[in-house]
Each structure stands twice: as C-alpha cells, then as structure tokens.
Amino acid sequence: MNPISRIAPVTDAEAAQMVHPDTLADLAERLTSTPVEAAAAEDAAGNTAWQSPRRSQGWHAAGLIHRAAGPRRWPGWLAPVAAAVAVAGVIIASLGISGLIRRPTATGPAGSSGVFANVPRHFVAVPEVPGRAVVVGATATGAELGTVPPPKPHTFFAWVAAAGDGRTFVLGTSSLPRGPWDVTTPRPVKLYRLVLDRSGHPGHLARLPIPTEKGITGLAMSPDGSKLAVSFLPVPGQTGSKIEVFSLSTGAQREWVWPGPGTLGEIAMPVTSGELQWEADNRTLMFELTTRTPNGWPAQLYLLDTAAPGGSLLASSARIPVPGTYLGLQHNRQRYIVGMPLITGDGRKLVAPFYHQKAPPKVFGFSITEFSVRTGKLIRVLYQKRSGTEAASTAVYWVNTHGTAMIAVRGPVFGVQTPATFTPLPPRTQRLFTGPIPGSLSRLPVW
C-alpha cells in the first residue's frame, strides 16, 4: 500500500461534505457575476480582481447572506452528485497531453520485424490506478492478448517482476484502505506468478507462498523462473535492510542483512519494478544501496552471490566500481545515471540512461550509455540528445544477455535500441501502456 495515501489529510468525498451546498451556489454565482471578458481584461491588465471596487459592488459580505429565503440556483443534491462525480473522476481514463507529444523522429529499418525478434515477444502493462487490470500485449504487433484483474479482495498491483523470457512474471497485489485513517487492518502484499502460454495468452494467477508482511522495496525473478529475490525495509527499531531469496519450487529461503544504515530499492508508489536484477546465471543479483548524508543520498551498486550462505549482505557482495558521483541522489551534480541501471545477462555491462547538464545556458544532455561492470568506466554512448527541456529524457526497460538489444525510451518514444539503430515499437504496442496519446504512460510496461 502506498503509505502516502494513508496520510492524506482529507479525501475528496470528505472535502465535498465540508462545504454547504448554498456556499457552493453562492461562490459560483459570485464568480460568474462579472462577464468573463471583463474579468479576463482585468486579469490581462494586471488587476488582481478581488479588490476591484467595481466588481465588489454587487457582492454581499460573507456571513450576511441568507440564501435560504431566495431562489436556490444550485439544488442541494448537487453536492453529493458532484462529490460522486469527483470520486469517480479521480480514476480518470486516458487523458490527452497533446502539447507534450512529439512524433517519433526515428524510423525502423525495412526489416524491423527482425529487430523485434531480439526482444521478448510479450509484455505486461501494469495499471497505475486501482481497480484496473493488467494488460498482456505482443511487443511486435501490439495485439492485446488478455487482461488480468487484481484478485479480490485486493484492488491494485503494486509490484511486478519479469523473468525476461516474455512469458513468466510475478505480480504483487494490495488494497487501498477503506479510509485514509483506517490503519487497523493489515494490508500485506500478496505475490502471484503469471505464466503466459506459448501464444502469449495469460493463465491464472498462482499464489506464491512467500511471506510479505514487511515493507517490500524490490522484487526480481530469476531468468529461469526458479527463484524470487525480495528486498525489504529494515525492521522497525533496527537499521539493516535485507534481501531474501526464495526458491519457488521448494519454498527454501535464504537471507542477507546489510550491516549498517542504508536502504535497498524503494517503496511502490504506485507500481514499481526493476529495483533488483538477476544475471543470466540465475545466481548473481544486482542491488543498489542508498544511504543518507548531509550532501544527499549517495548510492552504490553491488553484486550479491546468492549461492553464498545467508548472513551479511556486505560480506557476500562485491561492489561495482561505478563512480559514486554518478549514482544516487546528490546535490550539484552535472553528470549522473538517471534511475536504476540495467545489467546485461552476461554480467559484463551496465546500460543506463545518463544525464549531463551544461550551464549556462542550461542544456540538458540525455544519453543511453554503457558502463563496464568490472571497471565501472564508461564504455560507449549508444544515443545522445542535447535539449533545452526534459522532454528528451531517456530510459531503459529491458536489455538482452550481451547488451546488443534493449527496449528503451527516447523522449516519448518506446523502441528497440541496438548499437546501430533505434526502431520504434509499433504505435499500437505503445498505446497499450500509454493510452490513446503516445507518451502519456498510464501503465508500466514490463518485459
């Protein structure tokens, strides 16, 4: 459960109840008592409307208005109806933001279907709002192959992880509180395995017997689908964040605890993926540890050998020597990795969206960059774009074993990035996770 939703001081429905219908009618009447053209003209002239004597002539001092004696322009039932409309409207369907959208500038090669053969055939697109179903889609065609609603009593998906084979996924579900102050009912996450058939159609959700009563901050399924790695917040009163690896066949579990302050991954708000990553050997797990200092939140990347006995996460892990200034969240940096990098299946490279700012004048530089896992040094820039806005930013969602194909975002466009080309995914595919307007991102796609 998103913890921030639990500290909302008031819900929309409660807010609606706080205002008397007569007040609503009065406010609307006052607002519309001046012709819109005149109000706009005043606005354009820099006149801060409310102190305008001309406008205030027709107004009554608040508290002296007794509208009960006069005709009521806004019926009393309007408030609950409006509240219902508002509550329903909070879960809004796909919305246009056409001003932000740019057409894909790159086009795929003539044989782009060959490019799609190098990426997982299917993906799940996880909704960001409660009550909606996961959509299963075909990467190369955009065909919608099925939907999976959240299993009752849970109402939404908070976590998702993929084995990377285009068929096997783990989904974590939870439920919203009955009210923002209801903290008496435990709402742990439940984990389910979803396996697609060979044609990509989803099967049933199979519950995984994994205890998740603690705060999950990361989830990753091994490429062979046999193991699930889960990271957790420290137990209250203690400092050690931890990783547990579960065998999905036997239920065996092994646990490593970080011997000091620091957090792994992040809380799901609203749905999260990619905080832990397996190498193709089904043994090595990459994680990022974030600590807190006066200068910000520096981070370090580590590789955990999950064949090692449980115990100290530090002792069982090796640090990837990427410069510390490139990672985490620190002040006054001009070059850094944006988000969590992906590791190639062979464990040799990191692929990361990278950001480079030059000032003045402010120019944003976005790239997709490879780093060596062994040396931590930059190997190659696969794509770069200098821009005056963040609209050109990049992201990487999936990478293959050797880093020769990845699913990346360049600006608003999702596509297959190779060392030589960028082939946009078909618009129909992108619409499955962006809604009707490209780039609007109403579902999180996971391959």
Partner 1 sequence: MRTSLTSAVEARRRFEQIYAANHAAITGYVLRRTDNPDDAADVIAETFLACWRRLGDVPVGGDTRLWLYGVARRVLANHHRAGRRRTALADRLRADLAAAYRAREYSSELATITDAFRRLPAADQELLALAAWERLTTGQIAAVLGCSPNAVRIRRHRARRRFTALLATDQAARSIDGHATNGDLA
Q: Which of residues 26-65 bind partner 1 (CB under 8 A)?
A: 26-28, 30-32, 34-36, 39-40, 42-43, 49-50, 56, 59, 61-63, 65
Report how many helices (DSSP H) and strands (DSSP E) the chain contains, helices first.
7, 29
CA distance 73 to 259: 66
Indicate whether 83 belongs to the interface with partner 1 (CB under 8 A): yes
Q: How far is CA 65 from the centre of its chain?
A: 48
Interaction of residue 82 with partner 1, rule CB under 8 A? yes
What is the footprint of partner 1 within residues 365-424 (CB under 8 A)? 389-391, 393-395, 409, 411-412
Q: What minimum distance in Å lies between the beta carbon of 56 and partner 1?
A: 6
Task: Tell me the HSE value of 222 on the side-chain side, using a 13 A CA sphere.
Answer: 20
The nearest distance, CB 3 to partner 1, in angstroms, is: 5
Q: Is 211 helix (H, G, I), strand (E, B) or coil?
A: coil
User: How near is the Cβ of 446 to partner 1 at its closest, in Å?
Assistant: 13
Looking at residues 224 to 243 of the shown chain, list those that interact with partner 1 (rule: CB under 8 A): 233-239, 241
Which one-letter amino acid corresponds to residue 302? Y
* Residue 121 near residue 142, CB atoms below 8 Å: no
Choosing from 54, 107, 183, 197, the residue that interacts with partner 1 (CB under 8 A) is 183
Task: Report the 10 Å Cβ neighbour count for 239.
Answer: 13
Cα end-to-end distance, the chain, whole Å: 23
The smaller minimum CB distance to partner 1, of residues 187 and 348, is found at 187
Burial pattern 40-59, b for ≥16 Cβ within 10 A else e, equals eebeeeeeeeeeeeebeeee
CB nearer to partner 1: pick between 195 and 338:
338
Work out whether 8 is an interface residue with partner 1 (CB under 8 A).
yes
Is residue 128 involved in binding partner 1 (CB under 8 A)? yes
Residue type, 145: L
Segment contacting partner 1 by CB under 8 A, of 20-28, 303-311, 341-349, 373-381? 20-28
151 binds partner 1, rule: CB under 8 A: no
Residue 309 interacts with partner 1 (CB under 8 A): yes or no: no
Whether the Cβ atoms of residue 196 and residue 203 lie closer than 8 Å to each other: yes
* CB of 96 or CB of 251, closer to partner 1: 96
Out of 54, 58, 94, 419, the residue judged to bind partner 1 by CB under 8 A: 94
CB 193 within 8 A of CB 208: yes
363 binds partner 1 (CB under 8 A): no
Give the nearest distance from C-beta 244 to partner 1 in angstroms.
14
Here's the x/- map for partner 1, 264-283, by CB under 8 A: it reads as -xxxxxx-x-----------
Asked if 437 is part of the footprint of partner 1 (rule: CB under 8 A), the reply reads yes
Q: Give the nearest distance from C-beta 11 to partner 1 in angstroms.
A: 6
Strand runs (DSSP E) across 209-276, as ranges? 216-221, 227-232, 242-247, 253-257, 263-264
User: Would you count residue 117 as binding partner 1 (CB under 8 A)?
Assistant: no
Q: In whole angstroms, how close is the CB of 396 to partner 1 at the nearest point? A: 11
Does 138 interact with partner 1 (rule: CB under 8 A)? no
On the CB side of 1, CA atoms within 13 Å amount to 21
Q: Applying CB under 8 A, does 104 fall inside the site for partner 1?
A: no
Q: Is 208 in the site for partner 1 (CB under 8 A)?
A: no
Sorted by sequence, the CB contacts under 8 Å of residue 357 that are 6+ apart come out as 334, 335, 363, 364, 365
Size (the chain), residues: 447
Using CA atoms, how far apart are residues 318 and 330, in angstroms rounded to an integer? 23
Q: Judge contact between 193 and 170, C-beta under 8 A.
A: yes
Which CB sits closer to partner 1, 85 or 381?
Answer: 85
Segment contacting partner 1 by CB under 8 A, of 118-126, 128-136, 318-326, 376-384 = 128-136
Decide whether 156 or 280 has the Cβ nearer to partner 1. Answer: 156
Number of residues that bind partner 1 (CB under 8 A): 127
User: Other C-beta atoms within 10 Å of 320: how many?
Assistant: 22
Q: What are phi and psi of 276, to 5 degrees?
A: -125, 150
DSSP summary character for residue 262 = -
**Residue closer to partner 1, measured from CB, 42 or 305:** 42
Residue 264 Cβ vs partner 1, minimum distance, rounded to whole Å: 9
User: What tokens does 145 get?
Assistant: 């192959």
CB of 292 to partner 1, least distance (A): 5
- Interatomic CA distance for residues 241 and 350, integer angstroms: 24
Site membership for partner 1, residue 87 (CB under 8 A)? yes
